[in-house]
Amino acid sequence: MARLDEVKEILNSLRVAFSIIIGVLVVLVGVLINKEKASEIDIYFWMGLVFVLLLSFSLIIVVKSILKHIREIRDL
């Protein structure tokens, strides 16, 4: 039973991380769209774009990890 509780706690932490990443992505994409509309394509725009790409890749990793832990709970 202890292993099940540990996996559930990890899964909850991953779900929180997923929510935070989605929130940051929404805000950051909104800011980038506003900068593009105002024709403010500067270094901060490009840095934000790179950060969006990094967050997108980290989101994929978190989702894969969530799925792995869900399968692990199913096997316990």
Structural domain spans, the chain: 2-75
Task: Tell me 1's DSSP state.
Answer: -
pLDDT in tens, 10-66: 999 999 999 999 999 999 999 999 999 999 899 999 999 999 999 999 999 999 999
Q: What is the pLDDT of residue 3?
A: 87
Any alpha helices (H) in 1-76, and if so which ranges?
Answer: 2-37, 43-75
pTM metric for this prediction: 0.85
Q: What is the pLDDT of residue 74?
A: 86
Cβ–Cβ under 8 Å, residues 32 and 16: no
- In the chain, what is the straight-line distance between the N-terminal and C-terminal CA atoms, in Å? 9
